[in-house]
Amino acid sequence: MNKLQKEKSSYLLQHADNPVDWFPWSNEAFEIAKQNDKPILLSIGYSACHWCHVMAHESFEDPDIAKIMNENFVNIKLDKEERPDLDKIYQMSQTIITGKTGGWPLTVFMSPDKLPFFAGTYFPPEERYGLPAFKQILERVSEFYDTKKHDIKTQNAQLENIFSNLNDTSEVAVQSNITNTVLENLSNSLDRMHGGFGSAPKFPRCTNIQFILEKEVDITDEIKSLIELSLDRMCFAGIYDHVDGGFFRYSVDEIWMIPHFEKMLYDNGPLVSILSNAYKIYKKDIYLKRAKETCDWVIDNMQDEKGGFYSTVDADSEGEEGKYYVWSSEELKSILNDNENNIFDGIFKIDDKPNFGKFFHLHVPKGKENEYYKNTDAIENIKTKLQKIRNERIPPDTDHKILTSWNCLMIKGLLDIYKVTGDEKYLNSAQKAFSFIKNSLWDGSDLYACYHDKPKFIAYIDDYAFLCDVCLDFIKLEWDDNNFKFLNNLISSCLEDYEDKENGGFFFSSKKNKDLIYRPKTYTDESMPSGNSVILGVFSQLYELTNDNKYKSLIDKILLSARTSITRSPESHCNLLLENMEYFPKKLIIVRSPKEDMVELRNKINMFVRSSDIVLFLNDDISTNIHNIDDKKTENKFSAFICENFTCEQPITEVDVLIDRLNRK
């Protein structure tokens, strides 16, 4: 065993038995590299990564390759989900060095001072796929390091110079009609035939969908129907697990048929939110059904008894991608009766031909949706039989680390489905996870990013931003002085350790983190919305609630610092633009009623609330100590105040009148 055996990360433990002398990211590794004047080989991946597994089996388990690595390099394994800050830095480095986008596994060669001089992603053991053999790469890089140190120093200096200028704020102006430009670009990229954006591979791209839905009044019927098609295909096709529930990472083809089979918490939370919000617009039961099934799967399979949610479920089982999820013809015929086989063939099969090698992956082709609706009871019976068989299989591994930011995205999804169903099960699950984070990942002054059996790694801006966001969501549902105090403590800590006080915006990493060659600051949406965009949304809501100019100042500084990034790629900043009050004005709705009526009122009103609206539910005896809020009272049993630009209309005293107003927006 190497030095990974004492780690808690599932990904690192997958490599603990490799013949490679792996180190975790540590001072020890860099000191050894310095003392022996050896380059560092940094390999970055995550536990559910298929190609990470492939490279591990092909190369890192090979004694001959391991020998070359051990003799010539100090080898470091890194879990990118534990250290997204380092992953961002070295992914950016690989792009700068190669001019190509990165991915996982990421393979970085660097000098002992942590500055990279060569990088790539997956390398095969022998030359194929147009890629050089990993052995050749190792030998050439080792020779280059020994003979070209001057060239490496020159390149490193250039890289440092690039990094030093990345966070500069230019005077570029953002065009006034930027949201229309984004809407046009997103609309043009929609697949008119199969839904989704672009061609294969297809990702859900939740922030893009939400942006379009929030522009509902500006979109054509065609665009609205294309978003509906996109959601339909995600609900019916192969990116959804029709047996157990939950969504896979992405589709490898343009028709959403065959997924990459890993399940990520950070996908499933936002997809629940999107489907919950879309249900309010399209009124399609399948959206609600898939959102509920996904939450049920997460609660049953991914929620720890302490409350936190696990991170991922692997794509591979028994060394094969998708093996746990697919079906043979013989297997299906043996467990389904004739009628069920006919229904299955008519809905899920394509021309009676396997769609995943020799196997079938469940996929409802476009045009078969009505057949699905007609046979819902039979499909549920089929599903029960398939679940029984699947439960006898060897399941893929689950990564049991609990990540603050990902948990918050799932909490938000649970709160969003609760708002449209009123099902306390989802609220209780969200509260349990929220309590776990408060009690286990916050020490009173610092937030932590990761939990195994104890908290680990000082948090990143995503952790703070997403936690502030869900804390505010709980406060809006039911005022709680302790939660409001907790929110303010989080914001104070965030401002102290993450704010770029010179240029505005927030760095990804805390100033307490001293082992970085560069502190990234990002505004673009990637797999998740950027931390800067989410914290912008928190400040925007707090500004509307309190009319406190300190939040307006923070908002302005974030937007000023983001100008260059927005101008470079507007459609990559959907969430940042959504949270900009200038483009998407926020409406504040304060609802007061007796405590005994509040739950019923919330369930009734929330069905008609847009996701951009700020709705604050207050028992009539609650005092928030915020003047703008506390002065909104009447003598009526129920009263609601609709406010825009810090001006409130006369109180509405009938629930149906409020719902009618919200429904006419």
Q: What is the tens place of the pLDDT at every residue in 258-273?
A: 999 999 999 999 999 9
Tally of helices (H runs) and strands (E runs) in the chain: 27, 19
DSSP string, 595-635: HHHHHHHHHHHGGG--TTSEEEEEETT---S-HHHHT---S
pLDDT at 89: 96
pLDDT at 167: 74
pLDDT at 168: 67
Q: How many CB atoms lie within 10 A of CB 100?
A: 11
CA angle 443, 445, 451 (to 5 degrees): 40
Extract the tokens encoding 503: 């240029």
Q: For the segment 401-432, what is each residue's pLDDT rounded down to a tens digit?
A: 999 999 999 999 999 999 999 999 999 999 99
Whether the per-residue pLDDT at 665 is higher than 60: the answer is no
- Could you tell me the pLDDT band of residue 664, with boundaries at 50, 70 and 90? low
Q: Considering the chain, what percentage of its residues have pLDDT values greater than 90?
A: 88
Q: Which residues of 425-460 are buried (b: 16+ CB within 10 A; e: fewer)?
A: ebbebbbbbbebbbebbbeeeebbbbbeeebebbbb
Q: Considering the chain, what percentage of its residues have pLDDT values greater than 70?
A: 99
Mean pLDDT value across residues 135-156:
94
Which is higher by pLDDT, 559 or 216? 559
Q: For the segment 355-371, what is each residue's pLDDT rounded down to a tens digit?
A: 999 999 999 999 999 99
109 Cβ contact partners less than 8 Å away, ≥ 6 residues apart: 39, 40, 41, 42, 73, 116, 117, 118, 119, 141, 145
pLDDT at 350: 63
324 DSSP assignment: T
Residue pointed to by tokens 């096709």: 237
pLDDT at 169: 66
Whether the per-residue pLDDT at 40 is higher than 70: the answer is yes
Whether the per-residue pLDDT at 467 is higher than 80: the answer is yes
Check if the beta carbon of residue 613 is closer than 8 Å to that of residue 587. yes
β-bridge pairing 22-24 and 74-79: parallel
Which of 515, 517, 530 shows the shortest CA–CA distance to 569? 530
- Could you tell me the pLDDT band of residue 218, with boundaries at 50, 70 and 90? confident
Which is higher by pLDDT, 54 or 175? 54
What is the helix (H) or strand (E) element at residue 570, kind and residue range?
none
Whether the per-residue pLDDT at 114 is higher than 90: the answer is yes
Region of poorest pLDDT, from 471-475, 492-496, 564-568: 564-568
Whether the per-residue pLDDT at 306 is higher than 80: the answer is yes
Mean pLDDT value across residues 419-446:
97
Laid out side by side, the sheet with 74-79 consists of 22-24, 74-79, 40-45, 106-110, 116-120
Residue 233 and residue 213: Cα distance in Å, rounded? 17
pLDDT at 663: 83
Mean pLDDT value across residues 58-63:
97
Residue 120 and residue 107: Cα distance in Å, rounded? 5
Q: For the segment 532-541, what is each residue's pLDDT rounded down to a tens digit?
A: 999 999 999 9
pLDDT at 175: 78
Average pLDDT, the chain: 94
pLDDT at 202: 97
Whether the per-residue pLDDT at 646 is higher than 80: the answer is yes
Mean pLDDT value across residues 428-449:
98
The dihedral over CA atoms of 3, 266, 573, 582, expressed in degrees to the nearest 10, equals -130
- Could you tell me the pLDDT band of residue 129, with boundaries at 50, 70 and 90? confident
Residue 441 and residue 433: Cα distance in Å, rounded? 11
